[in-house]
């Protein structure tokens, strides 16, 4: 037995989490607590995704040992009970032990390791997602000026958030208390708490998977259609232009109020220290233009007195408005650069020289070590010929995988015959001792589910306040939100995956089967029958309905019908926004050219 494979995997996950946090965040600008908490949240969530396959392969190995162990035959009479071990009529040298029949997984490690690891990872993740990260997020958004009052505001702001969890927990607890034959003990109380958390996560997971399982393959198919991509980029530019303008106007209105307050509250006023804190959140151009009043020491009338409550409100508003402007500008710059690249791609597709030429003013800087390898010819063949074909192939593969997920989600609770594709694949590999393929298929499946859910999370309009921007441009709020959702969604998603491959005995109703260490820590949802029974029925139905709605773009068409701009092909309103976006991109390119020439001169 060796923990080397597990140690290597945990170390690699550590590096991946650190690199991703470095790519999106900036530890020099963020508070050290934000960096540490977000790293732990990302690291532990990724660890569940990549270590769970090792738990799965170990479980199949233990099942093999159990199936090949001699079974005790117990016979009893009123006076005596004897246990006889049924063994084949073989000599001692001919008896084959289970260890000789069952091949150990390449990643086999002591069975006592994972239970300890899962306890630490799971309960730390739950503490982060339900207590620490929401409090940190609300604390950073609070407009109060003292630590204690920020904590009070954070608790009040999270009252509804905690209330939803406590409501689910309370309903489950009442059901168990009044249900005949069910006794509440410490172990069941823990499972009820876990079930309440999983119910919250599974409800959100249904919405995200129902959209992502259709949208992800479709987005890769559209990625092969350059004309569609360019039109969509123009459309997005027009929408972002409106959002950016509204965000900037909102900041200007708040800055006008702050300027009036700064000119009213003199430096002898006790509220002045709070005004100075607000001014620190304002752009430097505004603070430099503020003129100190000459009569700082005059008395004030009641109408001139500014209350702390109004300053708290202004402070909170400027934080939120500044965040909205930063988000809008980041999205604007990212989409503008994307539009430049797509215009270059459209111009080079018909090139007779088959050499990729970049427009002047387009900021294209490939990675330094690739700059010498990627010639204009190679770049043309890759972008104009090979990549579109690969995108279509990848889209077809993802479409097949999405169908397999939806099919398996609908039928995973049927034990005989086994109808879940993932259960068939994993069990077939385990029978042939192909533990590496068990781990590989498990890892790919969980990764695909996570990709569908997490990528959808930042596309949904209600969560559009948060945005992950590379090159260290993501703010602390978005990093905290990402860590919070990772910790919230990963445990129930992995529990659902174990059900897909029939490693949850309370779903398959086969008590002879071994269970993963992860399931032993998480428990089973059938402690509360109405949740487990309803889950098996409504979870698949909701996913199918949402997939159908997403496939036919029912939500987008409904929003478009009620006047909310959505990208709908062959629509005159969409075409107007596309034309507007095209003009914005043209002006953006002209500005880049002017800056470039000015820099050269």
- pLDDT tens across 6-52, in order? 888 899 999 999 999 988 888 888 888 989 999 999 999 999 999 99
Alpha-carbon gap, residue 122 to 263, rounded angstroms: 52
Helix (H) or strand (E) holding 73: strand 72-76
Question: Highest mean pLDDT: which of 122-136, 182-196, 272-286?
Answer: 122-136
- State both tokens at 125: 């993740």
Q: How confident is the model at residue 70 (pLDDT cuts 50, 70, 90)?
A: low
What stretch of H or E contains 252? helix 226-264
**Count of H-run helices and E-run strands, the chain:** 23, 2
Average pLDDT over the chain, rounded to an integer: 81
Confidence of residue 302 (pLDDT cuts 50, 70, 90): very low
Specify which of 79-83, 85-89, 92-96, 259-263 reaches the highest per-range mean pLDDT. 259-263
Q: Which of 391, 394, 369, 393 lies closest to 382 in space, CA to CA?
A: 391
C-alpha pair distances (Å), 318 with each of 143, 280, 281, 312, 324 = 9, 11, 7, 10, 10
Specify the higher pLDDT residue, 573 or 46. 46
Picking from 208, 213, 224, the residue whose alpha carbon sits closest to that of residue 448 is 213
Q: Name the H helices within 292-413.
A: 308-348, 368-371, 376-380, 387-411
Mean pLDDT over residues 122-136, rounded? 91
| CA-to-CA separations, 478 to 326, 370, 460, in angstroms, rounded | 12, 31, 14
Nearest one of 109, 139, 486 to 316, comparing CA atoms: 139
Q: How far apart are CA 475 and CA 324, in angstroms?
A: 11
H or E segment to which residue 554 belongs: helix 554-561
Task: Name the nearest CA neighbour of 130 among 175, 171, 172, 168.
Answer: 168
Whether residue 60 contacts residue 67, with contact meaning beta carbons closer than 8 Å, is answered with: no
Residue 347 tokens, joined: 């111009």
CA distances from 539 to 79, 167, 220 (A): 53, 20, 26
Rounded to an integer, the average pLDDT of 239-265 is 89
Provide the percentage of residues in the chain whose pLDDT is more than 70: 80
Task: Give the β-pairing of 72-76 and 81-85.
Answer: antiparallel
Instruction: Grade residue 232 by pLDDT with cuts at 50, 70 and 90.
Output: very high
Two tokens at 282? 């304002």
Exposed / middle / buried, residue 599 (Cβ in 10 Å: 0-12, 13-18, 19+): exposed
Q: How confident is the model at residue 207 (pLDDT cuts 50, 70, 90)?
A: confident
Q: What does the pLDDT read at residue 235?
A: 93
Whether residue 164 has pLDDT greater than 80: no
> Rounded to an integer, what distance in angstroms lies between the CA atom of residue 541 and that of residue 389?
34
User: Which tokens sit at 83?
Assistant: 């246990």
Task: Render pLDDT for 40-50 as a digit per residue (tens, 0 to 9).
Answer: 999 999 999 99
Cα–Cα distance measured from residue 347 to residue 326, given in angstroms and rounded to the nearest whole number:
32
Task: Report the C-alpha gap between 17 and 466 in whole angstroms.
Answer: 19
Closest among 315, 241, 247, 302 to 276, alpha carbons compared: 315
Mean pLDDT of 462-483: 79
- CA 4 to CA 108: how far, in whole Å? 9
For 73, phi then psi, to 5°, come to: -110, 110
Q: 3-state class of 81 per DSSP? A: strand
- Token pair, residue 257, equals 């109020």
The alpha-helical segments, DSSP class H, found in 349-434 are 368-371, 376-380, 387-411, 421-431
DSSP letter string, 93-148 = GGPPPHHHHSPPPTT---TTHHHHHHHHHHHHHHHIIIIIHHHHHHHHH---SSHH
- pLDDT confidence band for 222 (50 / 70 / 90): very high
Among 54-58, 443-447, 551-555, 557-561, the range scoring the smallest mean pLDDT is 557-561
- In this predicted structure, the answer to whether residue 298 has a pLDDT above a threshold of 60 is no
Distances (CA, A) of 423 to 77, 364, 416: 43, 46, 12
How far is the C-alpha of 30 from the C-alpha of 141, rounded, in Å? Answer: 14
CA distances from 175 to 172, 185, 307 (A): 5, 14, 49
Among the listed residues 207, 214, 211, the one whose alpha carbon sits nearest the alpha carbon of residue 395? 214
C-alpha span between 308 and 554 (Å, rounded) = 48
What pLDDT, on a 0 to 100 scale, did the predictor assign at position 296? 45
CA distances from 559 to 178, 388, 516, 554 (A): 44, 31, 44, 9
Q: What is the pLDDT of residue 130?
A: 87
What is residue 293's predicted lDDT score, i.e. its pLDDT? 41
At 339, the pLDDT band (50, 70, 90 cuts) reads very high
- In the chain, what are the helix, strand and coil shares in percent, each to the nearest 5? 70, 0, 25
Q: What's the mean pLDDT in 355-369?
A: 64
From the list 464, 569, 588, 557, the residue with the least C-alpha distance to 232 is 569
HSE-CB for 117 with a 13 A CA cutoff: 22
Query: Could you give the 3-state DSSP secondary structure of residue 251?
Result: helix
CA distance 327 to 468: 9
């Amino acid at each position: 037995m060796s923990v080397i494979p597990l140690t290597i995997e945990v170390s690699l996950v550590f590096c991946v989490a650190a690199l991703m946090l470095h790519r999106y965040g900036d530890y020099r600008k963020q508070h050290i607590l934000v960096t540490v908490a977000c790293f732990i949240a990302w690291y532990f969530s990724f660890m569940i995704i990549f270590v769970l396959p090792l738990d799965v392969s170990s479980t199949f190995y233990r099942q093999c040992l159990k199936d090949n162990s001699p079974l005790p035959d117990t016979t009893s009479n009123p006076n005596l009970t004897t246990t006889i071990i049924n063994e084949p009529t073989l000599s001692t040298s001919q008896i084959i032990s289970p260890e000789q029949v069952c091949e150990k997984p390449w990643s086999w490690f002591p069975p006592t390791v994972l239970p300890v690891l899962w306890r630490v990872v799971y309960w730390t993740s739950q503490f982060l997602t339900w207590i620490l990260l929401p409090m940190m997020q609300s604390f950073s958004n609070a407009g109060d000026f003292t630590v204690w009052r920020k904590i009070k505001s954070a608790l009040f702001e999270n009252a509804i958030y905690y209330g939803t969890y406590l409501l689910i927990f309370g309903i489950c607890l009442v059901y168990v208390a009044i249900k005949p034959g069910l006794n509440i003990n410490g172990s069941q109380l823990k499972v009820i708490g876990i079930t309440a958390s999983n119910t919250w996560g599974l409800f959100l997971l249904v919405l995200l998977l129902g959209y992502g399982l259709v949208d992800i393959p479709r987005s890769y198919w559209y990625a092969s259609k350059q004309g569609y991509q360019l039109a969509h980029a123009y459309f997005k530019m027009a929408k972002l232009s409106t959002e950016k303008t509204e965000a900037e106007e909102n900041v200007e209105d708040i800055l006008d109020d702050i300027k009036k307050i700064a000119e009213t509250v003199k430096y002898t006023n006790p509220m002045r220290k709070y005004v100075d804190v607000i001014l620190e959140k304002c752009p430097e151009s505004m603070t430099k233009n503020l003129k100190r009043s000459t009569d700082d020491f005059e008395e004030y009338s009641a109408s001139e007195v500014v209350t702390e409550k109004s300053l708290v409100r202004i402070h909170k508003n400027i934080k939120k408005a500044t965040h909205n402007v930063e988000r809008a500008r980041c999205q604007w710059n990212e989409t503008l650069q994307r539009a430049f690249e797509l215009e270059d791609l459209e111009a080079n597709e018909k090139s007779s020289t088959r050499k990729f030429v970049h427009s002047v003013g387009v900021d294209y800087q490939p990675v330094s070590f690739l700059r010498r390898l990627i010639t204009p010819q190679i770049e043309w063949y890759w972008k104009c010929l090979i990549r579109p074909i690969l995108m279509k192939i990848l889209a077809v593969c993802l479409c097949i995988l999405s169908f397999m997920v939806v099919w398996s989600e609908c039928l995973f609770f049927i034990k005989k015959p086994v109808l879940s594709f993932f259960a068939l694949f994993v069990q077939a590999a385990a029978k042939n001792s192909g533990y590496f393929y068990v781990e590989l298929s498990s890892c790919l499946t969980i990764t695909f589910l996570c990709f569908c859910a997490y990528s959808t999370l930042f596309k949904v309009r209600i969560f559009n306040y948060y945005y992950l921007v590379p090159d260290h441009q993501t703010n602390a709020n978005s990093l905290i939100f990402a860590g919070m959702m990772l910790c919230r969604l990963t445990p129930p998603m992995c529990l659902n995956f174990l059900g897909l491959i029939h490693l949850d005995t309370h779903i398959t109703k086969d008590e002879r089967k071994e269970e993963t260490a992860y399931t032993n820590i998480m428990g089973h949802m059938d402690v509360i029958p109405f949740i487990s029974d309803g889950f098996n029925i409504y979870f698949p139905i909701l996913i199918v309905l949402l997939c159908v709605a997403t496939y036919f773009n029912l939500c987008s068409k409904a929003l478009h019908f009620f006047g909310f701009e959505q990208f709908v092909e062959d629509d005159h309103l969409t075409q107007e926004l596309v034309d507007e976006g095209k003009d914005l991109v043209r002006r953006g390119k002209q500005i880049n050219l002017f800056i470039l020439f000015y820099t050269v001169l």
